[in-house]
Amino acid sequence: MTVRSLNRGMSSVNTIPPSDDKSREKALREISGRLLHAQEDERRRIARELHDSVGQYIAFLKVALDSLKAERYVMPREVSSRIDQCICAAEQLTKDARTVSYLLYPPMLEELGLKSAIPSYIDGFSARSGVRTTCDISADIDRFPQELELAIFRVIQEGLTNIHRHSGSLSAHVKLFLDQDALVLTIADGGRGVPAKTLDEFRNDLLGTLGVGLHGMKERMRQLGGHLELTSSEEGTTVKATVALANYLRPDRSASLVDQTRSFSLVRLKAAHKKESKENEGVWRQFDARGVISGS
């Protein structure tokens, strides 16, 4: 979504009479939805650039430094020490680029779904933040449409980030389960709780001191026809996201919810396998026998 198209969208909102609150709200929701999609597209593009381009050049740099290290016996000790420092820096840069790429757009989510992506993300979050985080994913959770899986994953990211930055809690727990015909996510901590003023701003859709994080989570759920709840006390805070699955599954009530999600999962896995086969075809042509990127 370009700035020009955003301006056109806002202009169309301004043409709606102030008394027509429902139409104005609907138009603003549509603009918000397009912004979220544009944001995800840009995140995906940057993540792939980091992985496919920057990552390859860092790998080549590491190979070149290792080759120099093998010849350290012909160079002064000071130069050898500098090479060791460069190798360590290249290794750290590789880790950082991989982490940023994953946080921008986790490939595991697209390939394997929430059941694999959530524990992987939580392990990394716990290591980076020091917040001991556990998760409980119901056995009947399977694959869902990409936009639903991505929205749930983003809520988890934002929720855990808020816990790390604001709650002071040393632990957190994430739970994902099916409740009749709805997918439910809860994120709980044992921190200091949310001030009453912030809770009031959240319930009344006021920005105030709430910031954009919780509002973004709330808007993602609205775009999917779901809702976000926030409860808090001196014993901690719980964020609860609920999305009805009726809009994502076939209107075949003779099949159970679990059977339908498993059927959808098989379709996604076959499509992912086909896509992976095409992408891997001839991938090694990018490198010559020495591991140098073709054309560089």
pLDDT tens, position by position, 233-286: 888 999 999 999 886 654 443 344 455 555 455 545 444 444 544 444 443 344
The residue extents of the domains of the chain are 3-104, 131-250
Beta pairing class for 236-244 and 227-233: antiparallel
pLDDT of amino acid 29: 62
pLDDT confidence of residue 251: 45
CATH class of 131-250: alpha beta
Residues 58-76: tens digit of each pLDDT: 888 888 888 888 876 677 8
Confidence of residue 38 (pLDDT cuts 50, 70, 90): confident
Mean pLDDT of the chain: 76
- Better-predicted residue by pLDDT, 190 or 37: 190
pLDDT value at residue 292? 41
pLDDT of residue 288: 41
pLDDT digits (tens, 9 = 90+) for 81-102: 888 899 898 888 888 888 787 7
